[in-house]
Structure 1
Amino acid sequence: MTVELVDKRRKGQRIPGLGMANATWFSVLDIPGMEKLVNQQHTNDPLDITPAKAKKMADLVDAWTPHEGWSGDMAKEMKGYIVEFLRDCNGFRNH
């Protein structure tokens, strides 16, 4: 299964979404401090994140060191994609 993060801007104005494997996303949700911002349950229940929360999430992800094997051989790149999306989005929803 996968999760897709979609910018809240109107179609035609939004930045490209970000898709990832559930396990990758669930590891992000497990980052210490994330519990203050989002529901950390390992489900694909809808999230509706504000721009301010997305920026705080970006800071947590940026400071985080992924565990061995996270996101396969693209851990550094995936972490960068997530941080970039969270910093540049106008809040997001997941699908």
Structure 2
Amino acid sequence: MSVSLVDKRRRNERIPGLDLANGTWFAVMEIPGMEKLANQQHTNDPLSVTAAKAKRMARLIEKWMPPDGWSGIEPDVMKSYIVEFLLACNGFRSH
């Protein structure tokens, strides 16, 4: 299973979204402080996050050190993809 993050802009104005493995996303959601910004339950229930919260999420992730074996590619690369998306999006929805 996976989680898709989709920018809230209109379809023709959106930045490219992200598809993340559940384990990758759930580890991000376990970062201390994330509980104040989004539901941390390990489900694929949809989230709707504002642009301001997405920016705060990005700041938490920037300071975070991924655990060993966190993603299928280099952890720093995946971390940077997530941070870049969160900083550039106009809020997001998960699917």
Shorter-chain TM-score range: over 0.9
- Equivalences for residues 26-41 of structure 1 within 5 A: 26-41=26-41
Unaligned segments of structure 2, at least 5 residues = none
CA RMSD of aligned residues (A): 0.7
Which residue is equivalent to 1:89? 89
Shift, 1:75, TM fit: 0.7
Aligned length: 95
Instruction: Give identity over the alignment, percent.
Output: 66
Runs of 4 or more consecutive aligned structure 1 residues displaced over 3 Å after TM superposition: none
* CA distance in 1 between partners of 2:90 and 2:59 (Å): 15
Cα deviation, 1:34-81, whole Å, max 9, x if unaligned, reads 001011000000100000000000000010000111003421110000
1:70 aligns to 2:70 (yes or no): yes
Match of 1:80 in 2: 80
The aligned residue for residue 50 of structure 1 is: 50
Q: Residue 13 of structure 2: SS of its match in structure 1?
A: coil
Q: For residue 6 of structure 1, what is the amino acid of its counterpart?
A: V
Change (3 A) 1:73 1:16: closer
- TM-score norm. by structure 1 comes to 0.98
1:73/1:15 CA distance change after superposition, 3 Å: closer
Instruction: Tell me the distance in 1 between the aligned counterparts of 2:94 and 2:74.
Output: 22
1:73-95: CA deviation from partner (whole Å, max 9, x where unpaired) = 42111000000000000000001
Q: Aligned partner of 2:66: which letter?
A: P
